[in-house]
Chain A
Amino acid sequence: MADKISISNLNFFYGKDQALYDITLGIPEREVVAFIGPSGCGKSTFIRTLNRMNDTIPIASVNGEVIIDGQDIYSPNTDVVALRRKVGMVFQKSNPFPKSIFENVAYGVRINGIHSSKADLTERVEKALRDAALWDEVKDRLTTSAFGLSGGQQQRLCIARALAVEPEVILMDEPASALDPIATQKIEELVVELKKQYTIVIVTHNMQQAARVSDRTAFFMLGKLVEYNRTQKMFTNPEEKLTEDYITGRFG
């Protein structure tokens, strides 16, 4: 099967400082790929190249190819807005909008004009909240502020918000790093559940989390891709000495 996303020879710069060196890897459809590595290794930078979030940084520049469904997303005729609708993102810190719970989820649907009617919008919001395993907790207070939710709920709300625009790929940048173990477990279960429909890329600091949720793992260090392998192999019998040292906690 062809890869959903295929990245080749990707270099990334913040001004003159190179943050990513010659990254080449493929992400298969409907699998979970985890990016691990020590802080500052470039994994967050890398995940943000996949929906061109780095465009907002004026001094950033990129060369190489990121091909999603056969289309180079860095070619001049790529519509960034359409790209971001197709490749959704969940951030490290939950970032609900200063709106009601309902409006948070409805926002992406509204701006993209996906819904056909008001009833359709309501339906889509409910479905997204159900898919994010949040519906039962918020169904009675959809009109209240999103800031009233707990941290874990806010993060699932952000996932629901991303799901509502019906993306094909979901990027998660350390989605559980600010959450307690129970909320983290919920997010992880959700990732496994969402894999049935979506291609998921997840950055994580938590190696056990990568081992639990992902099919493949990529290990980054100092802006370079050290090893990319099936997760099971990566965590039992890595090919690179560096990977083994990191996973076993010999440095990091």
Chain B
Amino acid sequence: MALQKAQVHNKRLSVNWIMTTVTALCALFVTSVLLFIIGYIAYRGISSLSIEFLIDTPKPVGEGGGIGNAIVGSAMMTLLASLIGLPIGIAAGVYLAEFGKHWYGSIIRFVADTLIGIPSIIIGIFIYTLVVMPMGRQSGFAGGLALAIIMIPIVARTTEEMIKLVPNSMREGALALGAPQWRVSWDIVLPAAASGIATGAMLAIARITGETAPLLFTALNSRFYNFYYDQPMSSLTVQIYNYATGPFEIEHAMAWAATLLLVGLILTINIAVRFLTRKKY
């Protein structure tokens, strides 16, 4: 049989070429959107970034100032959310993976997936009703709590997936030595899944750092440095929202600068996660 290029062969080659090009263009489009966003934010924001901007508190309307208090507020609320959300989320994930093979586990799994899908502003309203109204004011505590609730199902599900990757033979090895079930999970399974769980945790932290909606009702905002959880607290995202919707050009410039800082932070976390997990596998 002759091995010549038949017409069918040529047609196949061109279809192949077209499809490859189309998919490559789609891939390029996806990444260029991100690059464009980052590029444009950097272009608009870089000129307003300065040490004072990172330290100062907002000045009276229209006179500029900084976002120092917002950085502190975001950090404090993210910390509180992590302190509440990570232990609960990880413990729930361990339960789902190690013990949740029956109907109760499936219900929790379904509820967690639904909770992940709920718009974050609804979480804000929920905490508003539950915490802000009884307390009589917005607070950093309420904000951190709202972020924790967003965090828990994400951490639980990623933890579960990571723990499921731990080979069953390891569990059996420990059980065969006379280890009780809980020690197997704690001593063997958790450390084996630790790097994956840490990745999930960092991605969840990156996610809540960028949340605005749940903080609008709960933490509100503050023009001053505030180190107390029972007071309204500023955050980068809410500050960006306020500046961006303000009437003055200088406020818009500050919004761009704060956005650049926030995007840079989230990007750094994501890249760090990539970098740390690449070594392992």
Contact = CB atoms under 8 A, between A and B. Distances in A.
Interface of A: 51, 53, 56, 58, 81-85, 88-89, 91, 93, 95-99, 107-108, 111-112, 158, 161-162, 165
Interface stretch (B6-14, B167-175, B253-261): B167-175
A82 B175 CA distance: 11
B265 interface: no
B167 A95 contact: yes
Contact of A95 (B102, B169, B183, B191): B169
Nearest to B188: A97
A53 B176 contact: yes
A111 B179 CA distance: 6
A139 B189 CA distance: 27
B178 A81 contact: yes
9 interchain residue pairs of minimum CB distance: A85-B178, A108-B177, A89-B176, A95-B169, A95-B173, A84-B178, A98-B192, A81-B178, A111-B179
Contacts of B170: 95, 97-98
Given A56-B172, A95-B172, A81 B180 contact: yes
A111 B188 CA distance: 12
Nearest to B173: A95
A97 B174 contact: yes
Given A58-B101, A97-B188, A98-B192, A107 B176 contact: no
Contacts of B192: 97-98
Contact of A91 (B102, B169, B178, B191): B169
Q: Which of B102, B171, B174 has the most CB of A within 10 A?
A: B174
Contacts of B101: 58
22 contacts: A53-B172, A56-B172, A58-B101, A58-B102, A81-B178, A81-B179, A91-B172, A93-B169, A95-B170, A96-B173, A97-B173, A97-B174, A97-B192, A98-B170, A98-B188, A98-B191, A108-B179, A111-B180, A112-B178, A158-B173, A161-B177, A162-B176
Nearest to B171: A56
B177 A88 contact: yes
A96 B188 CA distance: 10
Given A91-B176, A111-B187, 17 more contacts: A53-B172, A53-B175, A53-B176, A56-B171, A56-B172, A58-B102, A81-B179, A81-B180, A85-B178, A91-B172, A95-B172, A97-B173, A97-B192, A107-B174, A107-B177, A107-B187, A111-B180
A18 to B, nearest CB: 23
Interface of B: 101-102, 167, 169-180, 183, 187-188, 191-192
A93 B169 CA distance: 8
Contacts of A162: 176-177
Given A58-B101, A95-B167, A98-B192, A165 B177 contact: yes
Nearest to A111: B179
A97 B192 CA distance: 8
A99 B190 CA distance: 12
A190 B146 CA distance: 60
Contacts of A111: 177-180, 183, 187
Nearest to A89: B176
B176 A84 contact: yes
A51 B176 contact: yes
Nearest to B184: A111
Contacts of B183: 111
B173 A84 contact: no
Contacts of A53: 172, 175-176
A98 B188 CA distance: 7
Contacts of A82: 178
Contacts of A165: 177-178
A95 B173 CA distance: 6
Contacts of B177: 84-85, 88, 107-108, 111-112, 161-162, 165
Nearest to A114: B178
A161 B177 CA distance: 8
A67 B178 CA distance: 18
Nearest to B191: A98
Contacts of A99: 191
Contacts of A85: 177-178
Contacts of A89: 172, 176
Contact of B175 (A84, A98, A161): A84
